[in-house]
Structure 1
């Protein structure tokens, strides 16, 4: 697979008729827009769009993706497939040593992320799975639109349920995953790689 193929695999789907909204506004600017509309003000407050929400600090990345987790009702108590994306050693470990996912079970991908400043919109999670260099699956799920949390707390997003493949052929080999969090304008907030294999048990 070429770098061009990787770029196309990880590009967000285009939305017909969508046009970028122009230069991004700060949270304060959004908070002050239509300030006389009470219902709109309440809705914006629910997104963390309130004057001074960023404390005036608009430097650094707009979004920090904190963790990726696989969650399944079939997973034994105490078992966790949890990747801390701020831990470089753990990232390397997940890239080199595949985690085991039980075959033929339902599971969800869950991520936590923090919005540092500004408003994010059209943000999505893209996951491309390859085996022996050939793409076998692509998942693209919307996160939605968010503002900085008033208390600085992270957001959690559970994506739609997936089902792991099953069978002897599916269990042979390693699956390489490239994950990316990107918005409609192509701004990449996080990009990482990890591996898994399928087994009869977790």
Structure 2
């Protein structure tokens, strides 16, 4: 796992023509913006800026801004299948370095990716989740999912949870086998907050 500002060509977010990233502001600056602007007030509320909660403390020396704590695959239509949960932090809140992520998915199973994450230090705008899946060095799937904009977590909202659309795993002798993938969390400024390699197998 790594945090870097470099994006490989395989996982470059799509650019929207005419869209420009707004000027970066601190939390205090956002809080002082025109309170009479209803749409602005709603947007600030969606970030949690109108909350009365206390911002969660950040460990000394922890400069991470987006902290992904857990990834999981859930099977909402198949309660007999146990969720696949991948913890990316230990009980002390430290990133688990060099964690090998490998699991199996049964063919034709309906699964849903669930991500849990925290925001620290500053507001993050235009956060996106991207992943690329390859088999034998050839890309077979690419996902780009907007996650939104977020303020740092508070004691009232200590973790953010994002649930993705349900997906059916491919099936058949051609689909079965091993796949490699990489996931990235990227914001409007093209900062890569997490780059996470993983692998999985489609099984009968």
Settle same-fold status: TM greater than 0.5.
yes
**Matching residue of 2:197:** 193
Q: Higher helix fraction: Structure 1 or Structure 2? A: 1
Q: Does 1:65 align with 2:68?
A: yes
Q: Does 1:154 align with 2:155?
A: no
Q: Pairwise mapping of residues 147-186 of structure 1 onto structure 2 (< 5 A)?
A: 147-151=151-155, 153-172=158-177, 174-186=178-190
**Matching residue of 1:30:** 30
User: Alpha-carbon deviation of 1:46?
Assistant: 4.0
Q: Number of residues paired by the alignment?
A: 190
Distance 1:197 1:128, change over 3 A: same
Structure 2: stretches of 5+ with no match in the other structure: 1-6
**Matching residue of 2:44:** 44
Out of 94, 99, 120, the residue aligned to residue 92 of structure 1 is: 99
Distance 1:47 1:128, change over 3 A: same
Measured in 2, the distance between the counterparts of 1:32 and 1:55 equals 21
User: Alpha-carbon deviation of 1:39?
Assistant: 6.5
Distance 1:90 1:195, change over 3 A: farther
User: Alpha-carbon deviation of 1:76?
Assistant: 4.5
**Matching residue of 2:3:** none
Structure 1: stretches of 5+ with no match in the other structure: 1-5
**Matching residue of 1:3:** none
- RMSD (Å) for aligned C-alpha atoms: 2.8
Worse-matched range after superposition: 48-57 or 162-171: 48-57
Distance 1:56 1:82, change over 3 A: closer
**Matching residue of 2:16:** 15
Worse-matched range after superposition: 38-47 or 133-142: 38-47
TM-score, structure 2 normalization: 0.81
User: Alpha-carbon deviation of 1:188?
Assistant: 0.8
